[in-house]
Amino acid sequence: MSQGADPNVVDEFGETALFYAVRSKKTAAATALLEGGANLEVVNNAGNTCMSLAPATVFPALQEERKKRRLYDDDPGLLRAYSDNVRFCLGPSGPGPKRQRTAMEALRAWASEWPAEEPIPRKKIVDYKQEDIIDKTDGYAVLRRCPEECAAQLRVSEKHFVADHAQLLQEETWFHDLSPEEWCKGVGVIADETGVAVKAIKAVVAGNREHRFTLPLVEVESKSLAGYIHVGWKPEEEELSIKQLKVNDKDMNRGLGKLLLAAAEEHSRRMGWTCTGTSLSVLASNERACRCYSGAGFKKESSRSASWGKKGHIASDWQRWKKVTKHAYDKKSPVGQ
């Protein structure tokens, strides 16, 4: 690692070096890997993390490290990283490719962290019944409800949604200046790490937020979370608003974004919401998302400047896209049908 080796490289079993250190009860080796930036939240092919596999002799060290890991200090311009080398790269040493790259790695590590207040399940699956499926395609299904216990998984996906947007701006000279909190604010995601974010998700999936819903996308065979869509309704404008749409990297290029959009419109119809259009915002530089929305029938309506961080860095406009429906949804449609 002192020569630049990545401690998070995975093998054919989906495991990093930390898995082997933990399984062999090598606390010193595990500690060294953690100090070098090893990710605690990597999930192997069997659906396990190092935390879930850790024997009693090693678990306390992992738990303590997990509590310590917070990637931003009171200084919003400085990301806290996991090693002196990373801290040096993120410190006030001037912009550069290595500094930008390391800042992105640190942000991805932050995104992968499991919410500290939530227990880590043995297997991260989404239990559902056939009647919960709104729409499906080969190997994937969109569900009309999300179990409350999956809120922590959704939170991790939300943070990767933030990191995805940050990566679009990775070449900006000011990229390293922004903390995770500022990136969250820039894309409309709750930044709080004390449980408020997970509680907010739980409220939505439990149906306790009026005019809001979340639909999970699951991989059918493994029952693992493959993405999600957060949706709001503006009754006074009779408009459906897509707040967030996320498909996991490994599940992309399968038309799943369009599947989520279609499922959101169908679910709103079943809820009895009258809508004459669906709107969303997307960064102009997010070409993949723009192609998805265009293919789903959306058209660009307007643009506005996107301001990032407390210093108001400007890069890549936000574009508003809208899809006009051919008819209003039937108010008499059975709720939750």
Q: Which of 25-34, 50-59, 282-291, 326-335 has the lowest mean pLDDT?
A: 326-335
Q: pLDDT tier at 337 (50, 70, 90 boundaries)?
A: very low
Is 283 a member of any domain? yes
> In terms of Cα–Cα distance, which of 330, 336, 321 is closest to 245?
321
Q: Has this prediction a pTM greater than 0.75?
A: no
User: Could you tell me if 195 and 115 are in contact, meaning their C-beta atoms sit under 8 angstroms apart?
Assistant: yes
**Domain contains 83:** no
311 is a domain residue: yes
Q: How many CB atoms lie within 10 A of CB 57?
A: 11
CATH number at residue 194: 3.40.630.30
Q: Which residue has the higher pLDDT, 331 or 131?
A: 131
pLDDT, tens digit, 9 for 90 and up, residues 178-221: 889 999 999 999 987 678 899 999 999 888 888 999 999 999 99
What span, in angstroms and rounded, lies between the C-alpha atoms of 176 and 169? 10
**Confidence bin at 3 (pLDDT 50/70/90):** low
pLDDT in tens, 64-113: 666 655 443 333 333 333 333 333 333 333 444 555 567 788 888 888 88
Q: What is the pLDDT of residue 28?
A: 83
C-alpha 31/C-alpha 137 separation (Å) is 43
Rounded CA gap, 240 and 336, in Å?
17
Using one digit for the tens of pLDDT, what is the confidence trace for 250-265? 899 899 999 999 999 9
Residue at 137 is within a domain: yes
Q: Residue 111 domain-assigned?
A: no
Count how many domains the chain has. Answer: 1
Angle among Cα 107, 89, 193 to the nearest 5 degrees reads 30
Which residues, 6 or more positions from 127, have their beta carbon under 8 angstroms from its beta carbon?
Answer: 147, 223
Domain that residue 135 falls in: 122-324
* Within a domain: 117: no
Q: At what angle do helices 97-112 and 180-187 cross, to 10 degrees?
A: 70
51/62 Cα distance (integer angstroms):
7
Judge whether 168 lies within some domain.
yes
Query: What's 133's DSSP letter?
Result: E
- C-alpha 23: how far from chain center: 28
How far apart are the C-alpha atoms of 180 and 157, rounded to whole Å? Answer: 14
281: tokens are 């915002």
The answer to the question of residue 45 being in a domain is no
